[in-house]
Chain A
């Protein structure tokens, strides 16, 4: 069966520090991968998605970047965190596009920037 792992689960970082959140998927090949952010009391905002190794689509210009160095690995990074980067970050995968099927989410990484 397929599983998705995210880490770290919780992170507290000072403003201006770097960030790296990692997501890996097991049990499937060539998944579509997604990073979402959820601010308190709000819906999910799609940040990045990837349909293959090295292929990254950015949905919102911001202080973050994403990379897909391996087929089942998706990394969210920042060189210098801002207070506004605080939030709950969710990684997800799908077999086809979202217009054909469901997304499977990880358990999330809660980031607090102080």
Chain B
């Protein structure tokens, strides 16, 4: 079963614009992670935010976490064509320390 659900499923923007992707989850978490996947490639970890954190930055990435709403958002500022990829949120659930559950992802297309 899926813990995280990304929204929207697909997003198309112009270079230079900001991209916002949302993730909702169902059960309490220790942390929430965002990953990026270029087409046909493996996943790359972007950022991890712990349950006691509300916001985290890494370069052009900004992640927020609202545990009361069980939701997170990933903001990519000043997007570039190279940001085109699928973005996934992932959480640990079910009392397991190892079962990282991914959503279906948001496909971001940045048009030059």
Contact = CB atoms under 8 A, between A and B. Distances in A.
Interface of A: 32, 34, 36, 41-44, 46, 49, 51, 57, 59, 88, 90, 92, 96-108, 110
B92 interface: yes
A49 B99 contact: yes
A99 B31 contact: yes
Contact of B100 (A41, A51, A98, A108): A98
A59 B43 CA distance: 20
Given A43-B2, A90-B43, A102 B33 contact: yes
A97 B92 contact: yes
B112 interface: no
The binding surface of chain B is classed by DSSP as strand
Contacts of A57: 98
B88 A98 contact: no
Interface in B59-110: 88, 90, 92, 97-105
Contact-residue size bin, chain B (C-beta under 8 Å from the other chain): 20 to 34
A21 to B, nearest CB: 14
Given A41-B104, A42-B104, A98 B98 contact: yes
A57 B2 CA distance: 19
B98 A32 contact: yes
Contacts of A99: 30-31, 92, 97-98
Contacts of A59: 99
Contacts of B40: 88, 108, 110
B42 A107 contact: yes
B13 interface: no
30 contacts: A36-B102, A41-B104, A43-B102, A43-B105, A44-B88, A46-B99, A46-B100, A46-B101, A49-B98, A90-B42, A92-B43, A97-B97, A97-B98, A98-B92, A98-B98, A98-B100, A99-B30, A99-B31, A100-B30, A100-B31, A100-B97, A102-B33, A103-B100, A104-B45, A105-B35, A105-B42, A105-B43, A107-B41, A108-B42, A110-B40
B104 A43 contact: yes
A34 B92 CA distance: 14
